[in-house]
Amino acid sequence: MLDEFKKFIMRGNVVDLAVGIIIGAAFGKIVSSLVGDVLMPPLGLLLGNVNFSSLFISLSGQHYATLAAAKAAGAPTINYGLFINSIIDFLIVSAAVFAVVKGLSKLHKKAEAAPPAPSREEQLLTEIRDLLKSER
């Protein structure tokens, strides 16, 4: 059973998948940082000094100055600002994946070159066929 497991793990597809998952996780962290640290602060500034990560609705009915204060009090909250950040994360990741897939599909199309020219024998057979058709 251990040998079968080793063969399964060492197959190319499994290793490629593992590498893809690890790179995807790292890419997700980069995108989250891009959104939270680079894109959202200027966007919040343009929208009147809004910090999206601190936008929330307290479901307890009490008012809290910050999301951290609401969480410290144990109040249930709807964190729609964090949700907006997640949506932007998703859009950036999906755009990047789309660009990668589109680029790979272009590479595959180029790799599928025109079929090779027919051999000399095939050309002769085609000429014979055409001659026979013309004699009729």
Q: In degrees to the nearest 10, what's the CA dihedral of 38, 39, 42, 45?
A: -120
- Domain residues for 61? 2-135
One digit per residue, pLDDT tens: the chain, 136 residues? 888 877 776 776 777 778 888 888 888 888 888 888 888 888 888 888 888 888 899 998 899 988 889 999 999 999 998 898 889 888 888 888 888 888 877 876 666 666 788 899 999 999 999 988 988 7
Cα distance between residue 22 and residue 69, in whole Å = 35
CATH number of the domain residue 85 falls in: 1.10.1200.120
pTM equals: 0.59
How many structural domains comprise the chain? 1
